[in-house]
Amino acid sequence: MSLAWLFPAGLAALASLLLPLLIHLARRDEQRLLDFAALRWLAARPRPRRRIRFDDWPLLLVRLLLLALLALLLARPALHGVEDAAPRVAVAPGVDIASARRAVPGEQAQWLWLAPGFPALEAPAVPASPQPLASLLRELDATLPPAVPLTVVVPPVLDGLDGQRPRLSRSVRWQVIEAAPAAAERSELAPPRLHIRHDQAGAAALPWLRAVAQAWNAATPLDIAGDEQPFADADGIRVWLSARPVPAAVQAWAGAGGRLLVDARTPLPAATQHLPLWRDDGGAAVIEQVTGDAGQWLRWAAPLQPAAMPALLDAGFPQHLRGLLQAPPAPTRAWAAAMQPDTGAAAWPQPAYEPVPWLVAAIALLFLLERWLASARRRRGQA
């Protein structure tokens, strides 16, 4: 364990220790000389005492200690290497607590919920967390000292994963508690809506895009207008079928993460890179990815006509196009037995412990003691 000062300049406040010393010297009890008639004619004179003497030294010591602790609080002492080897047991929300305590014997362990903030298990209710479970595991691993044993109690099926097995810096005891499996909610992504702006030549591609939208979902309407009309909806896929440059507002929208598909005739910004994303059976590019200062765009590699793009006649063309425009999300549900965390990740540096609560409590007690001693001194003076 080592001591460090996060704000060493605060130690300059130790100079204030001179203040109570000067106050006690100035207010020490004075001895007054009284003339007696019988001693008036004596030649001997009393010599004043020059030895420094502090009156009420307990009060002085309390005041000095109070100022010293205030200076230490300003300097923010921090302790590195504080030993904490108490085992932790993290319980995923939804696990039966009684079953978890029977399966994991740990009277000296600290039990907590695997939820944001990692509240104690005695918390009355833990709401469902929007944070993925894998992210919570990594956060808990980063906040615990390296020597702390960790046990994680999970249900048979895990939600909130991020597509890969968690990798932690410590070996984790992975305890699966059998429970009734929850009903899997199957959710399908709504098909994207196409917002199309075109010029006269680009109108020739509209029948093919209408057929694509019908294959996705006949109830999803298309937003079609000339290239002089701005895009009004920020959702969906913007398709620019025009020989004019893409408007600056649309480029900014694409640079912020929007999905933009442009015509093969559309002028591209300078210093762009092309990467074929989709090739037909003959090896010809169908859609390219264009990367530049304006973000990532998708671009038709040829005009949308069967003569120039034979892939338009393929039965799988609509689904392949949707896979590029709307990638499926990564899986977030898996069997817990197959998702036990791996080890080998680098240990996170532990934050230093600042004994601020203890210093504040000591300062408060010393202040009360100083007030009591000062009031007792005044009562003695009045007596």
pLDDT of residue 186: 54
pLDDT of residue 123: 67
Radius of gyration in angstroms for the set of CA atoms belonging to the chain, rounded to a whole number? 38
pLDDT of residue 174: 93
pLDDT of residue 200: 93
Helix and strand element counts for the chain (H, E)? 8, 17
- Range 12-18, long-range pairs (CB < 8 A, 24+ positions): 12/71, 13/67, 13/70, 13/71, 13/74, 13/75, 14/67, 14/68, 14/71, 16/67, 16/70, 16/71, 17/64, 17/67, 17/68
pLDDT of residue 383: 47
Q: In terms of DSSP bridges, do strands 194-198 and 223-226 run parallel, antiparallel, or are they unpaired?
A: parallel
pLDDT of residue 125: 59
Is the whole-model pTM more than 0.75? no
Q: What is the pLDDT along the chain (383 residues), one digit of tens a residue?
A: 567 777 788 788 888 888 877 776 776 555 556 665 655 565 555 555 555 555 677 888 888 898 899 888 888 888 766 566 789 999 988 888 888 888 887 668 889 998 888 888 886 656 555 678 888 999 999 888 888 899 999 988 887 777 678 889 999 999 998 765 555 555 567 888 899 999 999 999 999 999 999 999 878 788 999 999 999 877 889 999 999 999 999 999 988 888 999 999 999 888 888 899 999 988 899 999 998 877 889 999 999 999 999 999 999 999 999 888 887 766 677 888 888 888 888 877 766 778 888 899 999 999 999 888 888 766 665 54
pLDDT of residue 31: 54
Dihedral, CA of residue 317, residue 322, residue 323 and residue 327, to nearest 10: 180
Query: Quick check: 92 and 111 in contact, CB under 8 A?
Result: no
pLDDT of residue 229: 92
